[in-house]
Structure 1
Amino acid sequence: MAEEITLTIENQQAGKMKGGYPLITKEAIVNIQDLKEEGSLIRLVDERGSFIGRGYYGRQNKGYGWVLTRKEKEFIDFNFFEKKISSALNQRAIFFDKDDTTAFRVFNGEGDGIGGLTIDYYDGYYVISWYSEGIYQFKSIILHALEKLVEYTGIYEKKRFNTEGKYIEDDDFIKGERGEFPLVVKENGVSFAVYLNEGPMTGIFLDQKEVRKKIRDKYASGKTVLNTFSYTGAFSVYAALGGAEKTTSVDLANRSLPKTIEQFSVNGIDHEAHDIKVMDVFNYFKYAVKKQLKFGMVILDPPSFARSKKNRFSAAKDYKNLVKDAVAITETNGVIVASTNYSGFGMEKFKGFIEKAFKEMGRKFKLEEEFSLPSDFKTTADFKEGNYLKVVFIRVTK
């Protein structure tokens, strides 16, 4: 293990960290010049030299590392990682016993005590995601701990730290048996074809499982459904299985067409009975208005930032206008499912965007229900940004 570096944290931020805040920000570090190599172990003290905690140096988004322990006699070694992973696995024991769900998260970063690290389970396969070069330096002992604790068919990894803004492309396979892809997993009894060897995304976002189930079980029946930013069409599949009259999936990425067809097919759904459009979502909104199309349900699940040749989208700046676009083509008594994974604002501000959008459109609405991350995506109250998912079901009443 590398030699431990002592970092001094300015007093205001030191109090916040002592209270449980796990992210080490650049602005908080007094002697930042002492940081050299990512992966270095760090001992945190306040400006009086009092112990705050131990962690590691790893640059991720706005952070320069994570606090891992506030116990002065606890050290960051194999036993530390084994204990954290074991605790996380025990808390997910109920998921391993479910026959209708074979894909879920088993370790969720700072929510399970190690910021910058997530581990997902896909029917016998584990996928480890590293969010900084710093946490990647602990690969061998984390992998050793996981192997000691679980039985597995194979293990894959995703290096989600950027090199000049690009995902580091490689095989992603670590050990065990290589998967035969697509690997078909279950979620609430619904089948999904996933690929663990095709870049940063596998084909399904596991954090939306409860939202998809609610669409299928309560809202989809008899509806015409528009699924925007549809990726591989997971919401559309659930809506179709829930009795939707027809779904329309819209995404700019060329891969969305074959991937969505595949997801319909593995569930025995005739994809030709549904529309799959490869086009800019904002251009589709204009097309729908021009053709006077109306939908009984509109699903909005954009990335935090999106860019096409003619349009740019930022959740922080543009979500209100996105809701206005949806309102314009939603039937009275129809439902808008508004979702964002942007961590820069909370649920109340998100609802504020919705309220402003309806007011500017001169329409009325009712909030039916809301969702955040499911239980396998464990979060901590000390780091509100970690509970990033915000989903609201909105009834257009007038």
Structure 2
Amino acid sequence: MKKEIDVKIKGKLTKKYHDGYPLIVKEAIVNVDDLQEESTIVRLVDDKGAFIARGYFGKQNKGYGWVLSHNEKEEIDQAFFTKKMASACAYRQPFFEDDETTAFRLFNGEGDGIGGFTIDYFAGHYVINWYSEGIYAFKNYIIEALQQVAEVKSIYEKKRFDTKGQYLDDNDFVWGEEPEFPLMVKENGVQFAIYLNDGAMVGVFLDQREVRKTIRERYAADKQVLNTFSYTGAFSVFAALGGAAKTTSVDLANRSLPKTIEQLSINGIDHEAHSIVVMDVFKYFKYAVKKNLKFDLVILDPPSFAKSKKFIFSAAKDYKDLIKETIAITEDNGVIVASTNSSGFDMKKFKGFIATAFKETGGTYQILETYTLPQDFKTIPEYREGNYLKVVFIKKISG
């Protein structure tokens, strides 16, 4: 068993951890200087030394580690990790059995009982995302657990535990037989080309599955669609398959052009009938206003934080203004799909950004429907910020 030390929790916060809060934050720790080596097992205790929970020390942008068990007698060993992995697999059994969707989240960190890493499934191949050196020290346990409970063709890993929260470039392949790339997977019958060996991003963000399906089935038909921050064009693919008159995909990254062409083409869509623009999205809004371009459906899915040569975008600070710019290029009775993966604010505040944006532009609107994380991205009520995704379908009535 790994080294274990007592971590004393400040009195007013002990109830929070007794009640199941999983993230060990620096501000809650009395003897923080005792934490030296990441991966150390920590025994959370109150000011009288009474046991609260057991976890591990691992620095990431969210905190200083995660609670693993409230059972004082439970060991953090191979059996512990295997039990958690087996439970996660059982919970996703309907996904394993769905021939129309062959890409999903298998293990979602604290939602499945072990914070600090996630595992995504791609047609029998797995990608582990590590978010701290602390959890990475348990790598062998976790890989063994995965192999014990699932059929595994190969395993790749992405290390995301640099101090700035950025991906660390490294050899991604861990174990098994490497597939030929692109690896073809399906989402609700739609094909995606996936690259597990090409940096931090593999080709699609799995948490938007239900939103893409909704756009295809209920919002795209005969519409002029603008997909901003489009990455590999996944929303555009679903909109085109839903009968959109035309999609326009806009992203600053040069690779978005060939990647979007690829995703459209493998689904039998003529990419030349659609527009793919490599441009700073914020500049594109100004371009669209200048050219008097209007769209029936606008998809906004910016990163929480983005930096271009002249502008830094922060979702918490700038999303309201982004919606205002979107309103200007959306047709009356058109729909804006506003999405954010920022965990820094909740759905109520996000809806507040929307309300303020319409108020400041003199327009009116109607919220049609909302989405949060899909079922495979399991979360727990004790850690509400873990349900980070917020998507709002907004009908622009006027303005």
Is the CA contact 1:26–1:62 (under 8 Å) kept in the aligned structure 2?
A: no
| Aligned counterpart, 1:126 | 126
Whether the 8 Å contact between 2:60 and 2:165 is mirrored in structure 1 is: no
Partner secondary structure for residue 104 of structure 2: strand
The one-letter code matched in structure 2 to 1:215 is I
Give the CA deviation at 1:310. Answer: 1.4
Residue 13 of structure 1 is matched in structure 2 by 13
CA offsets, 1:114-164, max 9 Å, x none? 001111100010111111000000001111111111111111111111156
Distance of 2:132 and 2:258 partners within structure 1 = 32
Report the equivalent of 1:98: 98
1:183 aligns with 2:175: no
Structure 2 distance, partners of 1:311, 1:30, is: 40
**CA distance, structure 2, for counterparts of residue 317 and residue 166 of structure 1:** 21
Query: Which residue matches 1:325?
Result: 325
- Listed as ranges, the matches of 1:67-78 within 5 Å are 67-78=67-78
Q: Partner residue of 1:384?
A: 384
Can you list the C-alpha shifts for 1:227-272, whole angstroms capped at 9, x where unaligned?
0000000000000000000000000011111111110011011111
Q: How does 1:275-286 map to 2 (within 5 A)?
A: 275-286=275-286
TM-score (norm 2): 0.99
User: In structure 2, what is the Cα distance between the partners aligned to 1:167 and 1:145?
Assistant: 24
* Runs of 4 or more consecutive aligned structure 1 residues displaced over 6 Å after TM superposition: none
Distance 1:241 1:165 in 2: 36
Q: d(CA) in 1 for partners of 2:11 and 2:182?
A: 52
Distance 1:164 1:325, change over 3 A: closer
Query: Distance between the aligned counterparts of 2:194 and 2:334, measured in 1?
Result: 32
Is 1:86 aligned to 2:97, yes or no? no
- Secondary structure of the 1:168 match is coil
Residue of structure 2 equivalent to 1:60: 60
Asked if the contact 1:305/1:313 (under 8 Å) is kept, the reply is: yes
Match of 1:148 in 2: 148
d(CA) in 2 for partners of 1:289, 1:388: 32
2:92 counterpart of 1:107: no
Q: Deviations over 1:321-372 (max 9, x none)?
A: 0000100000011000000000010000000000000011111100000000
| Structure 1 position 171, deviation (Å) | 2.2
**How far off its partner does 1:62 sit?**
2.9
Cα contact 1:372–1:390 (8 A) shared by 2:
yes
Post-superposition Cα deviations, 1:25-54, rounded to whole Å, max 9, x if no partner, equal 011111111111111111110112111100
Amino acid at match of 2:111: G
Q: CA deviation at 1:375?
A: 0.2
Aligned 8 A contact 2:336 2:395 in 1:
yes
Q: Distance in 2 between matches of 1:46 and 1:253?
A: 50
Unaligned runs of 5+ residues in structure 1 are none
Provide the C-alpha distance between the structure 2 equivalents of 1:57 and 1:217, rounded to a whole number of angstroms.
45
Work out the CA distance in 2 between the residues paired with 1:321 and 1:18: 40
1:155 counterpart letter in structure 2: I
Instruction: Give the secondary-structure state (helix, strand or coil) at the position aligned to 2:24.
Output: strand
Note the C-alpha offset of 1:60: 1.1
For the Cα contact (< 8 Å) 2:60–2:163, is it kept in 1? no
Paired residue type of 1:291: K
Q: Which residue of 1 aligns with 2:172?
A: 172
Q: 1:233 is matched by which residue type in structure 2?
A: G
Q: Retained in 1: the 8 A contact 2:226–2:248?
A: yes
Matching residue of 1:238: 238
Matched-pair contact (CA < 8 Å) for 2:58–2:134: yes
Q: Tell me the distance in 1 between the aligned counterparts of 2:165 and 2:94.
A: 38
Between the aligned residues of both structures, percent identity stands at: 67
Partner of 1:127, secondary structure, is strand
**Cα separation, 2, equivalents of 1:205 and 1:224:** 23
| Aligned residue type for 1:379 | T
Matched position secondary structure for 1:179: coil
Q: How far, CA to CA, are the matches of 1:170 and 1:267 in structure 2?
A: 32
Which residue number in structure 1 is paired with residue 350 of structure 2? 350
Following superposition, the deviation at residue 165 of structure 1 comes to 5.5
Q: Secondary structure at the match of 1:302?
A: coil
Kept in 2: contact 1:107–1:120 (CA 8 A): yes
Query: Secondary structure at the residue paired with 1:235?
Result: helix
Residues 222 and 245, structure 1, Cα contact 8 Å, conserved in 2 = yes
User: Which runs of no fewer than 5 residues in structure 2 stay unpaired?
Assistant: none
Counterpart check, 1:267 vs 2:262 = no
